[in-house]
């Protein structure tokens, strides 16, 4: 039961981290937020005021997601023993390395606002 709980929490952490990382990574935030707002502006014909508000809203939510992710990580790590915590940290580092590699290669992530770029399932 504990293994299932840990696996579930890890999966949730991974999903939240992927979205949050795509939305809050300092080097990518402007690019992601700009892309999102540009798409919304184009498709919804937003006024300049709406465009500015959309960018601010996106930034506020990205900050909330990042704070939530940090809180969740602390709670997950509190559930784990020392050995599990080390393994969990190793898994996170590996995931980060893969995520960075994918972004450099132009791979899209769940945080991408364009449904057409999502993998077919």
Q: Give the tens place of pLDDT for each residue, 107-120.
A: 544 444 444 444 44
41 belongs to a structural domain: yes
80 belongs to a structural domain: yes
What's the total number of domains in the chain? 1
Give, as one character, the DSSP assignment of residue 58: H
| pLDDT one-digit tens code per residue, 75-117 | 999 999 999 999 999 999 998 887 666 666 655 444 444 444 4
Give CB contacts under 8 A, 24+ apart, made by 84-91. Answer: 84/6, 88/10, 91/10
For the whole prediction, is pTM greater than 0.75? no
CA distances from 71 to 43, 45, 47 (A): 35, 37, 36
47 belongs to a structural domain: yes
30 belongs to a structural domain: yes
């Amino acid at each position: 039961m504990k293994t299932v709980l840990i696996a579930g929490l890890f999966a949730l952490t991974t999903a939240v981290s992927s979205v949050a990382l795509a939305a809050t990574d300092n080097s990518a935030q402007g690019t992601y937020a700009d892309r999102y707002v540009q798409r919304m502006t184009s498709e919804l014909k937003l006024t300049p005021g709406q465009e500015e508000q959309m960018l601010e809203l996106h930034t506020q939510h990205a900050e909330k997601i990042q704070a939530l992710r940090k809180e969740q990580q602390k709670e997950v790590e509190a559930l784990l023993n020392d050995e599990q915590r080390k393994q969990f940290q190793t898994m996170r580092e590996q995931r980060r390395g893969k995520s960075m590699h994918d972004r450099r290669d132009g791979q899209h992530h769940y945080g991408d606002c364009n449904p057409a770029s999502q993998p077919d399932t």
